Amino acid sequence: MIRTVETKPFADQKPGTSGLRKKVPVFQQPNYVENFVQSIFDSLEGFAGKTLVVGGDGRYYNREAIQKVIKIAVANGFGHLVIGKGGILSTPAVSCLIRGRTAYGGIILSASHNPGGPNGDFGIKYNIGNGGPAPEKITDAIFARTTTIDHYKIADAPDVDLDTIGATIVEGAKVDIVDPVTEYSALMKTLFDFDAIRALFASGFRMRFDAMHAVTGPYAHAILEGELGSGAGTVVNGVPLPDFGGHHPDPNLTYAKELYDLMMSSEAPNFGAASDGDGDRNLIIGRGIFVTPSDSLAMLAANARHAPGYAKGLAGIARSMPTSAAADRVAAKLGVKCYETPTGWKFFGNLLDAGLATICGEESSGTGSNHVREKDGLWAVLLWLNILAKRRISVLDLAREHWSIYGRNYYTRHDYDEIDLTAANGLMDALRGQLASLPGTSRGVLKIHAADDFEYHDPVDGSDTKAQGVRILFEDGSRIVYRLSGTGTAGATLRVYIERYVPEDGNLGEETQSALADLIALSHELAGIEQRTGRKAPSVIT
Ligand code: VG1
Ligand code: CO
């Protein structure tokens, strides 16, 4: 039976950079999930009888939310639901399933790299039929609907057994529980030379993959250890846990410190990698070298032809604005365009659909390609392995070779987490107030060439997106970028992105923080970080 339930709007259901993210107790309020999911469906049309893919990263409240999504989707007329066993699907696997099964769309239950557990974070994100995050036009419509919603539809049906593969019928709709790995793994085999990677491992190459008790555990076990013979024990923290073992499932140098320390030690295997809560981010560390995500994007793009899926070359490269310009140099050499988009994967979808870009990346550990419409952590790991297998070179040597050809974009991001929201907005407003007067002025040897608040004009659909981050651009190509996070759930997070370019004949072997010391000091001064936020130092440095 289908029930119509009366409800009242919640004022705080505005999706951020990547869906709606809140603390678990917020999502546990009566009707909170129901309102948002119904608002998604109210903003869409033409889905009667069609397929919806549903899955999450296994975090606390995943199963409860999935049961609600099933019952509301069925009540609204979807004809077929495809759900990962145990409610588990990585974000790139959802994208893969939507595309592979020509589904209408998908719902991802995840707060990605944010911590989980009863007092941790939860999230809901809608993906469209190309497999990618809903564009702003749709997320704006969803938000508008959440402010007026007065009823939702839900099937009065028993919970679906999420742990048994197979099909059941709920209110006339087919609900398929599928293996979360099979179709994703098959897609990876079409892109990479699995034989070459197998031969690499057979030759004694060793790797450590930290799944951070998040969603990639089952994928990494099946693909790395199972298919590629990386050896038992390659994957650590491989069982998804509702609270990620009490850690942040964020693969950076702070939260994946154990992996980093191992890779810098004399015990280091040849290659280290990690992924985040929902499996779309990647961390790459070679023996004795952390590869910044911006460099990783550039190095993958420069070497992608070694993988069968990219042997024909790249149509173009795209990077988010705060990502370093290392990829631009590769694009120039390849003779293709490099697009600069606002932060968030949703801005890459049009470029990929239109065939303008093949590989995309963000400084926040996101890399991906036109194989799906999300960033993809394991994909990046496999592309690295494919390149290393074909070239038989160490990560350190590959990085040195890259810098000697293209020069090096020293790059760091400083995050100030959970600062006061009013102080954060005040800081950004004050920076915006300085934009007109900064160009032409000097700070020590650093001359400011331009300053703006980044705006993006989408070359495919013509849409404009404004106020995407304050950029201070220096004459020597250095940059400082300031923006506020759109994924946090407590206070505000200020992100400061700092970059300096050193040409191929310059000093390429400096430690990153000291190479950037002048710009880091200037980033404090220009924004008055300490006066305005009370913080002397960032909470996380990546
Ligand atoms: C952050 C990153 C951004 C990424 C987004 C979602 O957003 O900076 O590059 O696309 O997270 O990633 P923000 O607004 O907090 O800076 V994930 O792995 O959370 O889906
Ligand atoms: Co993620």
In tens, the pLDDT along 335-383 reads 999 999 999 998 999 999 999 999 999 999 999 999 999 999 999 999 9
CA 239 → CA 131, 277, 372, 380, distances in Å? 26, 12, 25, 21
Q: Are 172 and 193 in a shared domain?
A: no
Q: Which two tokens stand for residue 377?
A: 């952590």
Q: Are 268 and 129 in a shared domain?
A: no
Of 405, 432, 456, the residue at which a domain comes to its end is 405
Cα of 113 from ligand 2 centre, angstroms: 5
Residue 467 CB neighbour total at 10 angstroms: 12
Q: Are 386 and 444 in a shared domain?
A: no
Residue 292: give its domain's CATH number: 3.40.120.10
Cα of 215 from ligand 2 centre, angstroms: 10
- In short, whether 364's Cβ falls inside 6 Å of ligand 1 is yes
**Which residue puts its alpha carbon closest to atom 11 of ligand 1?**
487
Given a contact cutoff of 8 angstroms between Cβ atoms, the answer to whether 286 and 296 are in contact is no
Given a contact cutoff of 8 angstroms between Cβ atoms, the answer to whether 153 and 75 are in contact is yes
Cα angle: 526, vertex 528, 531; to 5 degrees:
170
- In short, whether 324's Cβ falls inside 6 Å of ligand 1 is no
Strand ordering across the sheet containing 105-109: 20-23, 121-127, 105-109, 51-56, 80-88, 173-178, 166-170
Residue written as tokens 């119904």?
Answer: 38
DSSP-derived pairing of the beta strands 105-109 and 51-56: parallel
Q: Are 330 and 414 in a shared domain?
A: no
DSSP class per residue in 16-76:
BTTBEEEEHHHHTSTTHHHHHHHHHHHT--S-TT-EEEEEE---TTHHHHHHHHHHHHHHT
Gap between the Cα atoms of 164 and 159, Å rounded:
13
By annotation, the residues acting in catalysis are 112
How many structural domains compose the chain? 3
- In short, whether 362's Cβ falls inside 6 Å of ligand 1 is yes
Given a contact cutoff of 8 angstroms between Cβ atoms, the answer to whether 83 and 215 are in contact is no
Q: Are 350 and 486 in a shared domain?
A: no
Residue written as tokens 């608040």?
Answer: 453
pLDDT of residue 491: 85
Q: Are 241 and 360 in a shared domain?
A: yes
pLDDT of residue 487: 80
- In short, whether 76's Cβ falls inside 6 Å of ligand 1 is no
Q: Are 249 and 312 in a shared domain?
A: yes
Indicate the pTM of the whole model.
Answer: 0.94
Q: Which atom of ligand 1 is nearest to the CA of 281?
A: 18
**Which residue puts its alpha carbon closest to atom 8 of ligand 1?**
364
Q: Are 169 and 292 in a shared domain?
A: no
Q: Are 456 and 394 in a shared domain?
A: no
Residue 418: give its domain's CATH number: 3.30.310.50
- In short, whether 366's Cβ falls inside 6 Å of ligand 1 is yes
Q: Which domain holds residue 535?
A: 408-541
Contacts (Cβ under 8 Å, ≥6 apart) of 316: 331, 336, 337, 338, 339, 351, 356, 357, 358
pLDDT of residue 377: 98
Q: Are 192 and 292 in a shared domain?
A: yes
pLDDT of residue 443: 86
Q: How many CA atoms lie within 13 A of 281 on its CB side?
A: 28
Of 405, 431, 454, the residue at which a domain comes to its end is 405
Phi, psi values for residue 283, rounded to 5°: -120, 130
Q: Which two tokens stand for residue 326?
A: 């290392």
Gap between the Cα atoms of 29 and 272, Å rounded:
40
Given a contact cutoff of 8 angstroms between Cβ atoms, the answer to whether 342 and 360 are in contact is no
pLDDT of residue 207: 98
Segments of the chain scoring below 70 in pLDDT: none
Q: Are 363 and 279 in a shared domain?
A: yes
Of 382, 405, 428, the residue at which a domain comes to its end is 405
Q: Which atom of ligand 1 is nearest to the CA of 344?
A: 10
Question: What's the gap between Cα 323 and its chain centre?
Answer: 13
How does 285-312 read in b/e, with b if 16+ C-beta sit within 10 Å? bbbebbbbbbbbbbbbbbbbebbebbee
Cα of 210 from ligand 2 centre, angstroms: 15
| Residue 155 amino acid letter | A
Q: Are 380 and 478 in a shared domain?
A: no
